[in-house]
Structure 1
Amino acid sequence: MLHHISLGVSDIDRTAAFYDAALAPLGYVRVWEDLVPGADNQAVGYGVSGGGDKLALKQRSIGQRPPGPGFHLAFAAADQEAVVAFHAAALAHGGTDNGAPGLREHYGPNYFAAFVIDPDGHHIEAGDREGSAC
């Protein structure tokens, strides 16, 4: 259904370093970049190696703020170990814990996920593909 989504960020270098680390355990990498130090509208894109972007980060120095309550991005993970590694990498690179890795049986009997807040306040999740989606 979705081609890609873009998020505004206040510091492209800091946020790209966060997503480089957090998305690596999930198999997603930086697939393109348009970086001009000091310029607004710099951007990077993430997806599977050799493919197009599914997530773009765009620097917005003025007026950048995360979407309101209820909005979050959920990334697919291959297994529970990838969810755990996503959470650990996110916290080690400036993320804030918003739900440790674990079963979320209220979403489905096998739904294993972890939740973090990125350095710009965006709520993100990694969920095991084998679990039921919420």
Structure 2
Amino acid sequence: MKSRQSPIPRQPIKRNSDALSTTASRLCSKPTSTPGADMLHHISIGVRDLRAAGAFYDGTLGALGYRRVFDGEASIGYGLVDGQDILLLNLCVDAAAPGDGFHLAFSAPSRASVDAFHRNGLAAGGRDNGAPGLRPDYGDAYYAAFLVDPDGHRIEAVINRIAA
């Protein structure tokens, strides 16, 4: 079966691998000297409506301290440093979210940011998949919120440490 591509030509994305790996390690609170600590370089997901997806992720990821670091005709990147995306949205006319069992969990700096992630996501067209709150089945300090984005991707914001 032939795969169909987006009608808009993709623009090359410039990345600085060393800086991104350092950023990813810091975000995951893993020491960079540990083999395998930089397991993921970035995640790309397909979206059918880049504008709607951008509005959704601007609000949800913005609440967690991330921002747009790349903005192209057919892609939007999110991270901390310009040009060093950790999450990339790609316009794809046939985009489909993965099935049951898959979700992306984003680290949150505070419980308040988890609450804002959920609130902003609902305001931008997301669907509730679990209100903010403690999840004792996952751990004593596991505080999370779950959403489904406009394209059907399941996402979570989580902080898993005792509130100070």
Flag whether TM exceeds 0.5 (same fold).
Answer: yes
2:159 is aligned with 1:120: no
Separation of aligned partners in 2, 1:6 and 1:110? 29
Separation of aligned partners in 2, 1:15 and 1:2? 22
Unaligned runs of 5+ in 2: 1-38
Q: Which residue identity is paired with 1:29?
A: R
Matches within 5 A, 1:9-88: 9-35=47-73, 42-50=74-82, 52-61=84-93, 63-88=94-119
Cα RMSD (Å) of the superposition? 1.2
SS of 1:68's partner is: coil
Q: How many residues align?
A: 124
Query: Contact (CA 8 Å) 1:105, 1:111: kept in 2 or not?
Result: yes
Q: TM-score, normalised by structure 2?
A: 0.73
Higher gyration radius (CA): 2
Unaligned runs of 5+ in 1: 36-41
SS of 2:69's partner is: strand
The alignment-based identity, stated in percent, is 52
Structure number with the bigger relative contact order (C-alpha 8 A, sep ≥ 6) is 1
Separation of aligned partners in 2, 1:109 and 1:129? 8
Q: Which residue identity is paired with 2:72?
A: D
SS of 1:74's partner is: strand
The ranges of structure 1 where at least 4 consecutive aligned residues each deviate by more than 3 angstroms after the TM superposition are none
Give 1:129 deviation, angstroms. Answer: 4.4
Separation of aligned partners in 1, 2:137 and 2:82? 36
**The 10-residue stretch of structure 1 (12-21 or 51-60) with the greater mean CA deviation from structure 2:** 51-60
